[in-house]
Amino acid sequence: MNAFTDRFLAAADDKGAPVCVGLDPVYERLPASLQQRAADAGARVHAIHSFCQGVLEAVADHVPAVKFQAACFERYRAPGFAVLFELIQQARELGLIVILDAKRGDIGTSSAHYAVGLLADPQGPDALTVNAYLGADGLEPFTDLAAVEGKGLFALVRTSNPGGDAIQGLTLTDGRTVGEAVADVVADLGKRDTYIGDRGYSLLGAVVGATKPADAKSLRDRMPEQLFLVPGFGAQGGTADDVRACFKPDRTGAIVTASRSVLYAYEKSDVADWQTAIATAAGDLNQQIADILK
């Protein structure tokens, strides 16, 4: 079985750019044709299911990967969870690499349960986002199982939201920021031989927001073997230069993810068909990032 990082890099080469469309579906923003008045929770989950099926079909030819936001499905509890895993399977059948953005993390014994639930299924997600605040022993059950299953992980290092600065941006007595200290924990845990794929990347990657370009440069140096998952391009304000700082000179090393700007492209489009508007936006995202990396 190929390592997750090798699978992703091959898919990005194939599709032309290392991009990812985020599926963060919110009932109130679905195309009008999919909404009903006074829909109950079951009808909302059904509409979200239909919408995401259409999104996956629309983007599959244009991008190598998709990212599901677990919160949008967990909002509907068990029925939402069931739909999430059906969609993950569909995405994989369409040839997409699937990242589950669940930001899980706990002490080791509990992380091991999350790891089994979310990484052990061959038809489940290719990769998972995790929270590193509990340190390496909270991450190891994830990395150990990912190594066995050929899956990947992205630990939160520097998030794209404004409030992250109040913790991640603080400076330690040794000169590092808190985000850099977390980066060092990630780089250190991730460098085990069995975690490194053929193209030199570790199964343990990092989330680094596109809205923090100054930090991205330092984090790129500290984590040479980490693939960066880079949210914040587009709707959250990240620019081309912000994105460039997350890549290495060889133009690999990051996955640029855009969610709302692609997912709700029909809100700002003249195209009548929402699937076509989303497909066009996914193609544009791919082209934009390909151009940035030229």
Structural element, H or E, at residue 240: helix 240-244
Total residue length of the chain: 294
Report the residue number, 118 or 246, with the smaller CB distance to a copy of itself. Answer: 118
HEC-encoded secondary structure of 51-82: HHHHHHHHHCCCCCEEEEEHHHHHCCHHHHHH
The partner residues of 196 in beta bridges, in order of sequence, read 202
Q: How near is the Cβ of 116 to a copy of itself at its closest, in Å?
A: 5
The answer to whether 72 and 102 have CB atoms below 8 angstroms apart is no
Pairing of the two strands 19-23 and 152-158: unpaired
Q: How near is the Cβ of 252 to a copy of itself at its closest, in Å?
A: 26
Residue 103 a catalytic site member: yes
Burial annotation 153-188 (CB, 10 A radius, 16+ → b, else e): bbbbbbbbeeebbeebeeeeeeebbbbbbbbeebbe
At 217 the three-state DSSP class reads: helix
Q: How near is the Cβ of 15 to a copy of itself at its closest, in Å?
A: 26
The answer to whether 158 and 130 have CB atoms below 8 angstroms apart is no
At 241 the three-state DSSP class reads: helix
* Residue 145 main-chain phi, psi, to 5 deg: -70, -40
Pairing of the two strands 19-23 and 254-258: parallel
Q: How near is the Cβ of 285 to a copy of itself at its closest, in Å?
A: 19
Q: How near is the Cβ of 199 to a copy of itself at its closest, in Å?
A: 28
Report the residue number, 54 or 105, with the smaller CB distance to a copy of itself. Answer: 105
* Annotated catalytic residue, options 15, 67, 103, 212: 103
Report the residue number, 132 or 196, with the smaller CB distance to a copy of itself. Answer: 132
Report the residue number, 138 or 253, with the smaller CB distance to a copy of itself. Answer: 138
Report the residue number, 46 or 103, with the smaller CB distance to a copy of itself. Answer: 103
Q: How near is the Cβ of 260 to a copy of itself at its closest, in Å?
A: 9
* Pair of tokens at residue 116: 């089994």
Q: Which residue is it, tokens 């069995």? A: 194
Binding interface with a copy of itself (CB under 8 A): 24, 26, 69, 71-72, 74-82, 85, 101, 103-114, 116-118, 131-138, 156, 159-168, 170-173, 178, 181-182, 185
Q: How many CB atoms lie within 10 A of CB 6?
A: 16
- List the catalytic residues: 103
